[in-house]
Amino acid sequence: MPRRYSQEFRDRAVRMVADRLSDDRSCTQWQAVNEIAPKLGISVESMRRWYEQSLIGADQRPGLTREEHEEIKRLKRENAELRRANEILKLASAFFARELDHPGSK
């Protein structure tokens, strides 16, 4: 089960990577992440995603922020629900239209 880290911890970890990159211009993002993540006891992939997300949030890299991603997911769920409701209403409308065209046919 994945562990949850506080936002403060994540921010500090991201700052450590950013500081490492600014201190040594020859250091790559990959090197900095691989160096810092084990020291903090987190996976390299988590550290990489946190750093990438921080760059997106700071408009230094194109992409969706976490909030934008969550909003898109919510809108997709809502859209699917509305499509289902619309289909039900279409079926009900067709049923009642048949009943009006042929009253008492049963």
Domain boundaries, the chain: 1-63, 64-106
pTM score: 0.62
pLDDT at 18 over 90: yes
Whether 86 has a pLDDT exceeding 70, the answer reads yes
**What's the CATH number for 1-63?**
1.10.10.10
Q: What is the per-residue pLDDT across 32-76, written as a single tens digit (0 to 9) for each?
A: 999 999 999 999 999 999 999 999 888 888 888 888 889 999 999
Give the model's pLDDT for residue 60.
82
Residue 79, phi-psi category: left (phi > 0), alpha (psi -120 to 50), beta (remainder) = alpha
Cα dihedral across residues 74, 42, 54, 31: positive or negative: negative
Beta carbons of 20 and 36 less than 8 angstroms apart: yes
Asked whether the predicted pLDDT for residue 81 surpasses 80, the reply is yes
Give the residue, 9 or 60, on which the prediction is more confident: 9
